[in-house]
Each structure stands twice: as C-alpha cells, then as structure tokens.
Amino acid sequence: MVASVAVALASLAGIAAGHTEHGNTLTRPGDARYHPTRHPDRIVLIPGADAARQAAVSWRTGARVRQSQLQWTRAVDSPGLQLSAITVMGQTRPLKSGNGLAHHHSVRLSGLEPDTLYAYRVRGDDTWSEWLQFRTAADAFKPFSFLYFGDAQNSVRSHFSRVIRGGFRASPDVSLLLHAGDLVNQREGNHDDEWGEWFEAGGFLHGMVATLPVAGNHEYLTIETPGKPERRVLGPHWTSQFSPPRNGPAGFEDTVYFVRYSGVLFVVLDSMRALDEDGAAAVQGRWLDDVLTRDQSRWVIISHHHPVFSVALGRDNPALRKHWMPIYERHGVDLVLQGHDHAYGRGHNVAEGRNTVGDSGGPVYVVSVAGPKQYIAADSARGGLERIGEDMQLYQLIRLEVDRLHYQSLTMSDRVYDAFELAYRPGEPKRFIPRLAPGLNETRCANPTPPRKTRCWEGDELTR
C-alpha cells in the first residue's frame, strides 16, 4: 500500500521539480535518461543495527507498481533460486520530481543468519530485477574492509564514478561503503537527475555491498515561506531512497543511527542539524554518550559531514568540538570520518585540542573528498593537521583486524597519499603508527585559472 506520507512528500518535491538547469549533470533538457520505468532501479542495501541478522533494501519503479515485493533466499549453486525464495512485502511511497512520478519501495529483512551469503531480487511491473547477492556480517569480530568517500556532490556520473569504481577495483571484497555526506548537490537543476547519476556511478555495488549514508548540508533543502524565517528540511529523496536502522534519538531517526558490523561499531551523526538547530548537537551528544557507554566494541568509528577540525579556508565548527569531541575522547573513539571541506586533512588529536604525530591514543580525524569540487586548504590547518592535500579525488580503504586498523587514502592514479595504522594494546590507548613514505610532498591546487581564491575547482564546470 502507498504510504500516507504522499501529501508531505509531494509538497517538498515541488522544490526538486521546479528547476530546469542541468549544468551539474551529463543530462540535458529533454533527456529521459532517469525517468522511472516498469523496471526496478536504484537498488541499495543498508545494514540493520545488528548487521549479522538485519538488512534493508530500497529501490525505485514507475508509479504503476504499488506494492513493494522482494524475494530472498540463501545463495545456492543452482540457478533455481526462486524454488527456495521467501517473498516479503514492504512499504511504498510516491515521489514526484523533474522526471515525473515514481514509487520508492523498501523492505526490511530480519532473522538472517550471521556471516551467510544471500541472494535477492525486487519486483517491478510484471518484471524483476536481477538476482543480487550480499553477505551478512559476522556475529563476533571478524576482519573486514570498507571504503570511505568524502563528498561526491558535483558532476557525479562524470567524475565520481571513477572513484567508487576505483575503490572497488582496488578491494573487491569490501563489506561496506561509507559516504560522508553531500552525495549530490541538490541546489539547482533536476535533483532526480543528480540522484540518478549517483546510483549509476556505483551501479550494482549499491545493491550488493552494504551502504552507510551520512546526511550533509546538501541533503537538506532551504524552505522560504513569506513572513517566516527560512528553515532547512531533509530532501524527500533521502527518506525515499535510504532505510537506515532508525535507532537514533527521537526526531533524528532518518539521519542518526548506529550499526554493529562484525564486532565493530559504526555511528552516523547529523552535523547539519547540530550546527543549524538549537539543542540538536546536545541531543545527539547525549544519545551518543549512552550508546558508547553501553558498547563493548574494540573498534569504534564515527562519521558526520562537517569536520571537527576544518581544512578549508574560512571554515570552522566550534560547536562540534564543544558538544561531541569530549565524548569521542572519553570513550576512546578510533576514527572520525568527515567531508564538507573538499580537501584532504588528517589529524591525530590529543585532549588539549592540539594535533600531533605521536602515541597519544586520541581519535584520528579525517576529512576527504571524492568528487571534483575542490577547495583551498587554510594555512591554519597546515599548522595543526598532520597531512593536508588539495586538487585530488580520493577514496579511503580501511581494514580492521583483531589488533590492528590499517588506513590508506588513495588517489585516482593509485598513489597512496596517506597511510597509518592503529595498534590495539589491552588496557592501554591504541598506538598510532604513521605509514607514509619519507619525503612525500603535499599536493597543491594545479588549476591555472581557479574560479576564486577559496576554490581550486567549482566542480560543475567540468560537465560543460
């Protein structure tokens, strides 16, 4: 049955449908490339809070498909998957965009077995998707790898596609894809085309490798009402396309959540609301403090969009240092993975607020960028962060073992730009071990005609 939120979604969708510019995508006026059809598309797999036993799948069809139907089974050698498949029904919600009316579907799976390979397909209009496979997380700690991406945002199919595909080429056995906000631009042009490009860039990966989406400022839309203050609301595509565990604090369920994956705790926070709404940072901080107090995971990884320690010129987020950083330090968080600044920066924090190379045991804060929009790093960041970089599209490959976390940041020419390890020591702070090649130079902006003093590339000029 179509969800009752149709009216609310339709009112928001007018924002997305009202633009006609296409400068940020490879589509052009009149293209029907991303119109919904009878065939399922935009299939994405999201882990549940207990990723060993729970998962959610979302997808899109044309409006003639009014029910969400998924079939799943343990993966077997025979092509007769339908013989053992279980049919599950889910929820459907409409969304009208510049590409017309679509129905977005979601199904939540539970009762799965840990560390087990499953196959599934989703229903369209008298047709099905291909069979896709995924493996559930292990019940206890088991080594695995994941990819972390900063902002894709602009010219996504044109430029981000090589990043996500390059990461998969480098490590085809990755278990998770973490996107640290601003997946698309969502400011001008046809928003649905931008989301179509994001899903096309990753292709089948979204349906087979579990995704952890983080909401950034560009996932929010500005609502202007005559006589009232501006307000920001989460864009309708976010809640239509992603089905996170919804275990965050009340009122934040769409964008704040945690996932336990093979003995590692991942926590996603909403820094946009933390910086934009009174009390939102404190609410999330109290919830996070409670989650970390009760959790016994050896490795803890947190992601949000805005950086605790900014890299780019003219940016700073002191509210995050006030409300969240003390919690990270008190509970021994290992990594804080961020975006927003469209440059690379990595610092190893100590309690006094300084950044230093050494064996301090504090969280490692990382800012990265995957798309072509590139900013200039601030001199103050160079004075405080250990590794800075401009004018690079990057992906980060992180492998977790029982007593070692291996981190690499890689460029599109397969160059290792940054690398370190964290070593687990029972009863002691984790040891930070730099793994950079000696004398590795910092990459600076090489654009001979940068658009402004704070930016190396705008990003949207690259599809024209």
pLDDT value at residue 352: 37
Domains 6-135 and 144-463 share a fold: no
pLDDT value at residue 462: 76
* pTM confidence score: 0.93
Please give the backbone phi and psi of residue 432, each rounded to the nearest 5 degrees, phi first: -90, 125
pLDDT value at residue 20: 41
Q: Which CATH architecture has domain 144-463?
A: 4-Layer Sandwich (3.60)
Please give the backbone phi and psi of residue 219, each rounded to the nearest 5 degrees, phi first: -80, -10
Q: What letter does residue 406 receive in the DSSP assignment?
A: E
Q: Is 56 helix (H, G, I), strand (E, B) or coil?
A: strand
User: What is the C-alpha to C-alpha distance for residues 429 and 446, in angstroms, rounded to an integer?
Assistant: 40
What does the block give as tokens for 185? 């631009």
Question: String of b and e for 256-291 (b: at least 16 CB within 10 Å)?
Answer: bbbbbbbbbbbbbbbbbbbbeeeebbebbbebbeeb
pLDDT value at residue 14: 43
What does the block give as tokens for 239? 């809640």
Q: HSE-up of 80 (CA within 13 Å, CB side)?
A: 3
How many Cβ atoms are within 10 Å of 161's Cβ, its own excluded?
Answer: 18
- Is 175 within 8 Å of 210 (Cβ atoms)? yes
pLDDT value at residue 189: 60
State in Å, rounded, how far the first CA of the chain is from the last one: 42
> How distant, in Å, are the alpha carbons of 78, 113, 133, 272 from that of 82?
10, 19, 14, 44
User: For residue 393, what are the contacts with CB-CB under 8 A and spacing of at least 6?
Assistant: 159, 160, 162, 163, 369, 370, 371, 372, 411, 412
Burial of 65 (0-12, 13-18, 19+ CB in 10 A): buried
pLDDT value at residue 354: 44
Q: Which candidate, 246, 253, 262, places its Cα nearest to that of 399? A: 262
Return the H-helix or E-strand segment holding 123: none
Q: What size, in residues, is the chain?
A: 464
User: For residue 181, what are the contacts with CB-CB under 8 A and spacing of at least 6?
Assistant: 151, 214, 215, 216, 217, 218, 219, 271, 272, 304, 305, 339, 340
By 3-state DSSP, what share of the chain in percent is helix, strand and coil, each rounded to 5? Answer: 20, 30, 45
Tens digit of each residue's pLDDT (9 = 90 or more) over 18-57:
344 457 899 998 899 999 999 999 999 999 999 999 999 9
pLDDT means over runs of 10, the chain (464 residues):
41 42 81 96 98 98 97 97 97 96 98 98 98 98 98 96 97 97 84 96 98 97 83 93 97 98 98 96 98 95 97 94 96 96 84 43 92 95 92 98 97 96 89 87 95 92 75
Helix residue spans in 203-324 (DSSP H) = 205-208, 236-241, 271-276, 280-294, 318-323
pLDDT value at residue 164: 98
6-135 classified as CATH 2.60.40.380: yes
Burial of 143 (0-12, 13-18, 19+ CB in 10 A): middle
Domain extents in the chain: 6-135, 144-463
User: For residue 411, what are the contacts with CB-CB under 8 A and spacing of at least 6?
Assistant: 392, 393, 394, 417
Q: Strands, DSSP E only, in 226-343?
A: 231-234, 257-261, 264-268, 299-303, 335-338
Report CA torsion sign: 176, 306, 256, 229: negative
